[in-house]
């Protein structure tokens, strides 16, 4: 079967032929991959900034955002059935018995760093035709989400972040209703959010924040009338152009910022925005920046603000089963509320043979491009 793989030692990215995986354990599920999303991490993998092949292998099959269809199940499988649409999780637990996070099924909080990730770290990914994995990593997606199901995995980043924001905001009990899934459009004192960046992670994050009743601003380059700007408008959020509003002007334009959802990976810019976070605010980092060397930051200012304004800085990576389930529920909600904006996130479908143009170049106006296998 076809697979896109990186060869770090020789710095090559190739479409290769690999054996089809077979069911070997009673809890295995065999999945035919329908779509694979292309994200920034994949591009960094193809620049060899990131990524480790499985032990003993010279290559890593990439791809971690996917949608597939179950075609075969092992004898003991109960959670999925043949014909189900599924999105597999990315991270697999480490093997240390004393890692309480992995032992509890929360490998997204792994303590040892010995976790593996399909398509990223020591385990082949989903940019291929068939995948076999344990049923416990499969999440069933309703048929109605066939066209957008590939967005589940990138949405889990926002779901995990928002679950933590709700927990943290519970420290403000007076005016901060934190019921998960609160579907009100009302804004109140603790629900004003700024999303940094209008890529797929940023736009899906903005949708999740809007669905949770946040007054939401997306701060990005690219223009309020661009396709990204139109998505922002369609979901009832406000696009703020970085070309005409400086970071220092942001709080004046938005009001007190309760939550920043960072989705750019640009660290000097993010720390500039952190200086404008509001009282009792939460700053969520989701980007993984390249290491470009030190920059100057006004640490006295940041530390004073953090203490005197009860602020929280939170980094968040990967996602749990509950976050995948929340993403599937929210995707259905987005489809109901903003069908065109949601569909507009997927800007192109390509055969896997087009891997070079999609992975090694940056198609200028793309939001989320995907490989479609059927
Ligand atoms: C993936 C996560 C993964 C992270 C770090 C992201 O692109 O969505 O699942 O944990 O990269 O490798």
Q: pLDDT tens, 170-212?
A: 898 776 755 555 545 444 678 999 999 999 999 999 999 999 9
Is 317 near ligand 1, meaning CB less than 6 Å away?
A: yes
Q: The tokens 């069911």 sit on which residue?
A: 23
- Ligand 1 centroid from CA 117, angstroms: 8
- Tokens 């020789």 belong to 10
* Whether the Cβ atoms of residue 240 and residue 232 lie closer than 8 Å to each other: no
> What's the pLDDT score for residue 183?
47
pLDDT in tens, the chain (374 residues): 999 999 999 999 999 999 999 999 999 999 999 999 999 999 999 999 989 999 999 999 999 999 999 999 999 999 999 999 999 999 999 999 999 999 999 999 999 999 999 999 999 999 999 999 999 999 999 999 999 999 999 999 999 999 999 999 989 877 675 555 554 544 467 899 999 999 999 999 999 999 999 999 999 999 899 999 999 999 999 999 999 999 999 999 999 999 999 999 999 999 999 999 999 999 999 999 988 899 999 999 999 999 999 999 999 999 999 999 999 999 999 999 999 999 999 999 999 999 999 999 877 789 999 999 97
CA angle, corner 147, sides to 74 and 5, nearest 5? 65
Distance in Å, CA 327 to ligand 1 centroid? 15
pLDDT tens digits, 55-82 = 999 999 999 999 999 999 999 999 999 9
Q: What is the pLDDT of residue 313?
A: 98
- Predicted TM-score (pTM) of the model is 0.96
User: What is the structure's pLDDT at 90?
Assistant: 98
| Residue of 36, 94, 117 with the most ligand 1 atoms within 8 Å of its CB, for mutation | 117
What's phi and psi for 5, nearest 5 deg? -135, 150
User: How many angstroms does the Cα of residue 318 sit away from the middle of ligand 1?
Assistant: 5
Neighbours of 164 (CB within 10 A): 15
107 lines ligand 1 (CB under 6 A): no
Both tokens of residue 58?
């010279």
Ligand 1 center from residue 135 Cα (angstroms): 20
Of 360, 353, 354, nearest in space to 6 by CA: 360
In this structure, the strands spanning 12-17 and 65-73 are unpaired
> b/e for 275-313, b at 16 or more Cβ within 10 A?
ebbbebbbbbbbbeeeeeeeeeeeeeebeebbeeeebbb
Distance from the CA of 64 to the center of ligand 1, in angstroms?
8
Which ligand 1 atom sits closest to the C-alpha of 154? 8
The residue contributing the CA closest to ligand 1 atom 7 is 41
91 lines ligand 1 (CB under 6 A): yes
Q: Quote the tokens at residue 83.
A: 């014909």
227's enclosing H/E stretch is helix 227-234
Residue 317 Cα, ligand 1 centroid: separation in angstroms? 6
Q: Name the residue at shortest CA distance from atom 2 of ligand 1.
A: 318
Q: How far apart are CA 346 and CA 341, in angstroms?
A: 10
How many CB atoms are located within 10 Å of the residue 56 CB? 5
Q: Are 296 and 105 in contact (CB under 8 A)?
A: no
């Amino acid at each position: 079967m076809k697979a896109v793989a990186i060869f770090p030692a020789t710095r090559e990215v190739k479409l290769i032929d690999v054996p089809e995986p077979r069911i070997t354990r009673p809890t295995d599920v065999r999945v035919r991959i329908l779509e694979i999303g292309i994200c920034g991490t994949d591009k960094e993998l193809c620049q060899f900034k990131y990524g480790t092949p499985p032990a003993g292998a010279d290559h890593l099959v990439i791809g971690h955002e996917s949608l597939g269809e179950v075609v075969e199940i092992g004898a003991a499988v109960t959670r999925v059935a043949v014909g189900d649409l599924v999105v597999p999780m990315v991270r697999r637990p480490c093997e240390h018995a004393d890692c309480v996070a992995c032992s509890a099924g929360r490998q997204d909080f792994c303590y040892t760093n010995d976790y593996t990730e399909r398509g990223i770290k020591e385990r082949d990914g989903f940019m291929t035709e068939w995948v076999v994995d344990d049923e416990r990593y499969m999440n069933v997606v309703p048929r109605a989400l066939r066209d957008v199901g590939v967005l589940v995995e990138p949405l889990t980043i926002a779901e995990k972040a928002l679950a933590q924001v709700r927990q943290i905001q519970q420290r403000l009990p007076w005016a901060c209703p934190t019921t998960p899934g609160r579907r009100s459009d009302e804004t109140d004192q603790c629900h004003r959010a700024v999303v940094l960046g209008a890529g797929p992670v940023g736009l899906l994050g903005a949708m999740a924040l809007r669905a949770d009743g946040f007054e939401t601003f997306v701060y990005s380059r690219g223009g309020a009338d661009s396709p990204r700007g139109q998505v922002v408008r369609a979901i009832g959020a406000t696009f703020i152009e970085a070309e005409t509003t400086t970071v220092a002007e942001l709080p004046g334009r938005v009001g007190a910022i309760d939550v920043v959802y960072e989705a750019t990976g640009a660290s000097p810019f993010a720390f500039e925005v952190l200086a404008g976070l509001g009282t009792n605010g939460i700053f969520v980092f989701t980007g993984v920046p390249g290491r470009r060397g030190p920059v100057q930051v006004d640490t006295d200012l940041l530390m004073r603000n953090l203490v005197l304004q009860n602020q929280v800085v939170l980094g968040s990576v990967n996602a749990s089963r509950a976050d995948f389930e929340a993403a599937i529920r929210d995707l259905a909600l987005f489809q109901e509320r903003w069908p065109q904006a949601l569909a507009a996130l997927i800007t192109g479908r390509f055969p896997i043979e087009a891997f070079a143009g999609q992975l090694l170049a940056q198609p200028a106006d793309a939001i989320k491009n995907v490989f479609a296998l059927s």
